[in-house]
C-alpha cells in the first residue's frame, strides 16, 4: 500500500463503518486513478471533501442514531417533567415554608424576591408542566419544542426567580427539550431547529431588553455577577455525580453503543454548561470539568467506533 | 435534478461506467468545466442509486484496484429524457432572448 493510499484510507475513518466496508475500496481506487503521478499526500480540498461527506454520511445514517436520539429524548422529557413537577410542588409551598427561599434568604436576602407575586410560580410552572405533558403527547416534533420554549421565554421575562430555581436553569431545560425533538422526522426537525433558534434569540433579546430598559427585579438581578454563580447552583449535579454518570454511560456503551450515544448527547451539553457555570471557580474545578467533558466525548467516540459492528453492508448505499 | 446528477446520467446513457470513467465522462461532456470531488461524485451516485435511477452493473479488479460499474435503469433513462427536454427548452428560450436582445440593442434587453 502506498503512502497516498494509506492516507486516503485514514481519511475514510470519517465515514460510518458500513459505508467503509461497502465503498472504501472503490472510492480509494478512484481517488488513486485521479491522483497525479508522484503525489504522496491527498490534496487539501480532496481531503476536506472526504471528511465532510463522511461526517454528513454519519449524520444521515438514521439507523445508527435513531434509537440513541429517541432514548435521549425520552430521558430529556422525563427529566424536564420531573423538574416541572418538583418546581410546581415547591411553588405551591407558602413563602415562609419554601425551603429554597429560606436557604437563599440565609445566603443573601434580595428585596427583588419579595416583589414576585406569590401566585406567579404556580401559574408559570403549571403552564410549563401542561406544555411538557401536551408536547410529549404530540407527534409533531416542533410542537414539542415550541411550547416549552415559550415557557422558557416567559420564565426569563417573568422575574428574577420564579420558584427558587433561577434563570440559569432555563438553558439546560431548553437544551434538553430541544434534544427531545431530534428523533422526529426530518421535516419536523427542521421546523424544530428553526423554532429553537427563534425562541433562543427571542429569549435573549428579552433578557437584554429587561437589562437595559426594565426597572424591576429582573434588572437588579441581571446587574449582579450572579449569572454564573446561579448557574453553578442550578446545574443539579456535582462533579462527582457527573463522573458516576459518565462511568455508567461508558458501561452502558459497552453493552449497547447507542446507549452511550444517548449518554454522550446528554452529558456533553450539560458538561459544557458545568464548565461555563464554573468560570468563577478554581483552576481545579475547571480542570475537572474539562476532564469530564473529555470523558463524555470519549463515550461518544467509543460508541461511534463500535456502532457499525452489527450493520449490513447495503444500508449506507440506501441512505 | 442537479447538474452533477444530470451529467452522471448522461454519461451512463452511453453505457455502464465505473467511478473514474464517470469523472472522465463528465470532464469530456463539459470540456473540463465540471470536475467534481470523488466524495461528491459518490454521494451523488449513492443518491441516484437510492432513487432507483442507476444500479450496480458489475465489479472487477483492475491492476489491484477494485472497480464497481453502474448503469442506467429504465426510470433513470426516462428521468434523463425529461430533464434533457426541460433543459433544451430552457436553452431555446435563452438563445431566442439573447438574439432578440442583440437585435434591439442592450438598452431594450429588459424584456
Each residue's pLDDT tens digit, A222-246: 444 444 444 444 444 444 444 445 5
**CATH architecture entry for B3-100:** Orthogonal Bundle (1.10)
Nearest to B59 by CA among A125, A23, A191: A23
pLDDT value at residue B94: 93
Domain of residue A139 covers 63-234
In terms of DSSP bridges, do strands B54-62 and B17-18 run parallel, antiparallel, or are they unpaired?
A: unpaired
Beta-carbon contacts of residue A274 (< 8 Å; ≥ 6 apart): A235, A237, A239, A242, A289, A292
In a domain, A286, yes or no: no
In a domain, A212, yes or no: yes
Check the CA dihedral A155-A157-A158-A160 and report its sign: positive
pTM value > 0.90: no
**B41-62 mean pLDDT:** 90
Confidence of residue B83 (pLDDT cuts 50, 70, 90): very high
Of A29, A46, A50, the CB nearest to B66: A29
pLDDT value at residue B13: 93
For residues A55 and A17, state if they share a domain: yes
How far away is chain B from the Cα of A17, in angstroms, using its nearest Cα?
16
Domain boundary among A198, A215, A234: A234
Q: Is the predicted pLDDT of residue B72 greater than 80, yes or no?
A: yes
Residue B5 · residue B48 · CB < 8 Å: yes
pLDDT single digits (tens) A81-136: 555 454 444 444 444 434 444 444 444 434 344 344 545 545 555 555 555 455 44
For residues A142 and A40, state if they share a domain: no
For residues A55 and A167, state if they share a domain: no
For residues A143 and A11, state if they share a domain: no
Q: How many structural domains is chain A composed of?
A: 2
Q: What is the predicted ipTM?
A: 0.83
For residues A225 and A82, state if they share a domain: yes
DSSP annotation of B13? T
Check the CA dihedral A292-A246-A15-A6 and report its sign: positive
**A58-76 mean pLDDT:** 55
Residue B8 · residue B26 · CB < 8 Å: yes
Confidence of residue B80 (pLDDT cuts 50, 70, 90): very high
Residue B40 · residue A31 · CB < 8 Å: no
In a domain, A127, yes or no: yes
**B82-97 mean pLDDT:** 93
**B24-45 mean pLDDT:** 91
Domain boundary among A234, A256, A279: A234
Q: Identify the weakest region by mean pLDDT among A179-183, A267-271, B84-88.
A: A179-183
Span between the terminal Cα atoms of chain A, in Å: 30
Minimum CA–CA partner of B51 in chain A: A318
How far away is chain A from the Cα of B32, in angstroms, using its nearest Cα?
14
Q: Which residues of B touch A319 (CB under 8 A)?
A: 46, 50
Q: Which residues of A touch B20 (CB under 8 A)?
A: 29-30, 33-34
**A305-317 mean pLDDT:** 37
For residues A103 and A220, state if they share a domain: yes
Amino acid at each position: 500500500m502506498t503512502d497516498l493510499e494509506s492516507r486516503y484510507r485514514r481519511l475514510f475513518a470519517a465515514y460510518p463503518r458500513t459505508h467503509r466496508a461497502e465503498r472504501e475500496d472503490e472510492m480509494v481506487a478512484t481517488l488513486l486513478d485521479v491522483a497525479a503521478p508522484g503525489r504522496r499526500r491527498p490534496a487539501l480540498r480532496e481531503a476536506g471533501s472526504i471528511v465532510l461527506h463522511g461526517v454528513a454520511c454519519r449524520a444521515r445514517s438514521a439507523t445508527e442514531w435513531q434509537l440513541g436520539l429517541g432514548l435521549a429524548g425520552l430521558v430529556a422529557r422525563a427529566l424536564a417533567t420531573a423538574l416541572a413537577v418538583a418546581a410546581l410542588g415547591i411553588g405551591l409551598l407558602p413563602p415562609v415554608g419554601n425551603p429554597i427561599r429560606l436557604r437563599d434568604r440565609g445566603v443573601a436576602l434580595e428585596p427583588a424576591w419579595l416583589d414576585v407575586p406569590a401566585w406567579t410560580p404556580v401559574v408559570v410552572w403549571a403552564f410549563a408542566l401542561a406544555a411538557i405533558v401536551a408536547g410529549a403527547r404530540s407527534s409533531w416534533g416542533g410542537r414539542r419544542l415550541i411550547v416549552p420554549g415559550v415557557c422558557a421565554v416567559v420564565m426569563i421575562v417573568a422575574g428574577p426567580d420564579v420558584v427558587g430555581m433561577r434563570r440559569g436553569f432555563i438553558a439546560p431545560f431548553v437544551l434538553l427539550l430541544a434534544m427531545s425533538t431530534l428523533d422526529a422526522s426530518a421535516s419536523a426537525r427542521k421546523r424544530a431547529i428553526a423554532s429553537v433558534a427563534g425562541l433562543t434569540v427571542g429569549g435573549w433579546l428579552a433578557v437584554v431588553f429587561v437589562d437595559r430598559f426594565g426597572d424591576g427585579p429582573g434588572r437588579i438581578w441581571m446587574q449582579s455577577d450572579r449569572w454564573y454563580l446561579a448557574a453553578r447552583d442550578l446545574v443539579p449535579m456535582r462533579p462527582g455525580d457527573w463522573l458516576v454518570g459518565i462511568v455508567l454511560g461508558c458501561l452502558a456503551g459497552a453493552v449497547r453503543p447507542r446507549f452511550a450515544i444517548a449518554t454522550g448527547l446528554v452529558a456533553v451539553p450539560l458538561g459544557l454548561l458545568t464548565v461555563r457555570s464554573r468560570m468563577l471557580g478554581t483552576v481545579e474545578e475547571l480542570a475537572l470539568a474539562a476532564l469530564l467533558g473529555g470523558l463524555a466525548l470519549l463515550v461518544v467516540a467509543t460508541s461511534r467506533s463500535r456502532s457499525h459492528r452489527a450493520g449490513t453492508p447495503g444500508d449506507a448505499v440506501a441512505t | 435534478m442537479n447538474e452533477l446528477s444530470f451529467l452522471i446520467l448522461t454519461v451512463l446513457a452511453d453505457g455502464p461506467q465505473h467511478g473514474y470513467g464517470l469523472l472522465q465522462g463528465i470532464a469530456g461532456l463539459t470540456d473540463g468545466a465540471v470536475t467534481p470531488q470523488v466524495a461528491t461524485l459518490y454521494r451523488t451516485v449513492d443518491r441516484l442509486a437510492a432513487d432507483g435511477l442507476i444500479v450496480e452493473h458489475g465489479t472487477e479488479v483492475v491492476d489491484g484496484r477494485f472497480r464497481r460499474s453502474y448503469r442506467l435503469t429504465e426510470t433513470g433513462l426516462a428521468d434523463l429524457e425529461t430533464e434533457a427536454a426541460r433543459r433544451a427548452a430552457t436553452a431555446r428560450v435563452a438563445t431566442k432572448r439573447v438574439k432578440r436582445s442583440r437585435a434591439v440593442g442592450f438598452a431594450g434587453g429588459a424584456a
